[in-house]
Amino acid sequence: MFTTITWQDYLASPDREGLLLEAIRRYKSSRTFTHALEANCYFRGENTRVARKTILRARKIETRDVQGRRRVRSGTEDVVGNRISSAFLFRFVTQQNQFLLSEGVSLPEDVKRRLGADFDHQLERLGECALLHGCAWGYWNADHLEVIEAAKNSWSGFFPLLDEMSGEARLGVQFWQLAVDRPLYLRVFEEDGVTVFLSHGKGLETVTAKQAYIRTLRRDALGETLCETPGYGRLPLIPLMANTDGLSELTPAIKAKIDAYDSILSDFADNLDRANDVYWVLNNFGGTLDDVAELLEEINRVKAVANLSDGTGGASTAEPHTIEVPYAARRAALDLLERSLYQDYMALDMDELTGSSLTNVAIRVSAANLNLKADRYEWQVRRFMSSLLSLLGISCDDIRFNRQSIANESETIADIAVMRPDIDQKTALRLNPYILNEEISALIHSTEAPQ
């Protein structure tokens, strides 16, 4: 987390507005911000290392000497080759986040109602940002949750100023621009309210004066505010960490393997491009070295190389040849890297669930690592929910997450039939994957009704 400038620095500064601008500059150049942007790129399927990849290609260089005579020599140049990126990080982060949060959080009905109809979707989005950036922030704005990303793009992000003694966030700075040549906006969160500033240069101009936070908000049927209570006594900003260290799931180990995978795949595509046609070997070629240099530029177009002499003194001949691109070693390397990526991230490879692996026992074994990682992630989400409910003055220990389950449903129904003498009808219906929970009461009532 960003610690270059702290809450104590802010309190001691004679120019607090200038300090905020300096903090933004330092944050944008920090490893925290740049790594978060890098994680965004990998999540979109943009490998920043492969994006810089070039290949060396021979070309003809033609010059004139002082007498005006034409000189031709061979040279090389860097050209853009195939830049193929994979989507491993998108697959892994989506799987982990959706596995835990796709069905939202289960709370008592009255508590869930207070969080708003869109809360589950916002929590899901917050979790995705946390896994990518290491930490994301939820801002409780009167009656709904807002997601604040640590890094949205090169000009937009968020960082807190931490208390040097407690390590808690005492002030939050959200900044954004549409482009580098557009004005910079700041939203500064303090314990007693939030202020919006505009920066045209070195100074700050107040756009919206400090507004106190709204603790409770009630609206009538027309959306008009009936009553509101200001203040929380602390920042209504709550961090959701990806893990106990607050680090991105794009770890050095995961990134190195993704880079290696994408590089091998890109190089293989380059080799296929260079070797996808027939080329010609010209024996007893009678040209000069300048002629050979001039021919080098045409190799990629005409697929021909020249052999000045085959040593036999015979007539010139032309023989067609093709290049066999090495495949087996690359395929083995790609398979090894893919398996290693799934193992390191503790993700579930759906390709493994085939044939005899489709029994419920085999599925549970395959998903064991994903469940273990979801357990660690759930601790962080549960901590976030507890902090949010505490902020709202709600006491609730009944916080549950309904994880996605993968099962052989035919086998599950067969197991229910075997257990049927030992369980009641309601339990049997609840275990049936084809029956929704809200349908159970109606089904029981219909079977008990007199015929």
CB burial readout 31-52, b (16+ within 10 A) else e:
ebbebbbbbbebbeeebebbee
pLDDT digit of tens for each residue in the chain (451 aa)? 788 999 999 999 999 999 999 999 999 999 999 999 999 999 999 998 887 776 656 566 667 777 777 766 655 555 666 778 899 999 999 999 999 999 899 999 889 998 988 999 999 999 999 999 999 999 999 889 999 999 999 999 999 999 999 999 999 999 999 988 889 999 999 998 999 999 977 788 999 999 988 876 665 555 555 556 667 888 999 999 999 999 999 999 999 999 999 988 888 777 776 665 555 565 666 666 556 556 556 655 665 655 555 556 566 565 665 556 567 888 888 999 999 999 999 998 877 766 555 666 666 767 788 889 999 999 999 999 999 999 988 888 889 998 877 655 566 666 677 777 778 877 877 777 667 666 777 777 776 655 5
For residue 1, CA distances in Å to 33, 89, 147, 248 come to 9, 22, 18, 11
Residues 6+ apart with CB under 8 A from 236: 139, 140, 141, 189, 213, 391
Pair 162, 169: CB distance under 8 Å: yes
pLDDT for residue 427: 80
Six token digits for residue 155:
């000009």
pLDDT for residue 74: 59
Q: Which residue carries 């669930």 as its tokens?
A: 353
For residue 167, CA distances in Å to 229, 332, 370, 394, 421 come to 29, 47, 31, 25, 58
Q: How far apart are CA 272 and CA 124, in angstroms?
A: 42
pTM over 0.85? The answer is no
Six token digits for residue 280:
């010609």
Residue 4 amino acid letter: T
Q: How far apart are CA 399 and CA 316, in angstroms?
A: 84
Please report which helix (H) or strand (E) contains residue 430, including its range.
helix 425-431
pLDDT for residue 30: 94
What counts of helices (H) and strands (E) characterise the chain? 15, 18
What are the start-end ranges of the E strands in 245-370? 279-283, 304-306, 317-321
Residue 147 amino acid letter: V
For β-strands 70-80 and 214-219, DSSP reports them as unpaired
Residue 171 amino acid letter: L
pLDDT for residue 280: 55
Q: Say what angle helices 252-274 and 88-101 make with each other, to 10 degrees.
A: 140
CB burial readout 240-255, b (16+ within 10 A) else e:
bbbbeebbbbbeeebb
Q: How far apart are CA 284 and CA 280, in angstroms?
A: 13
Q: What angle is formed at CA 154 by the lines to CA 149 and CA 155, rounded to 5 degrees?
A: 80
Six token digits for residue 239:
């961090």
pLDDT for residue 172: 95
Sign of the four-CA dihedral 412, 418, 422, 428: positive
pLDDT for residue 179: 87
Of 28, 6, 11, 24, nearest in space to 204 by CA: 24
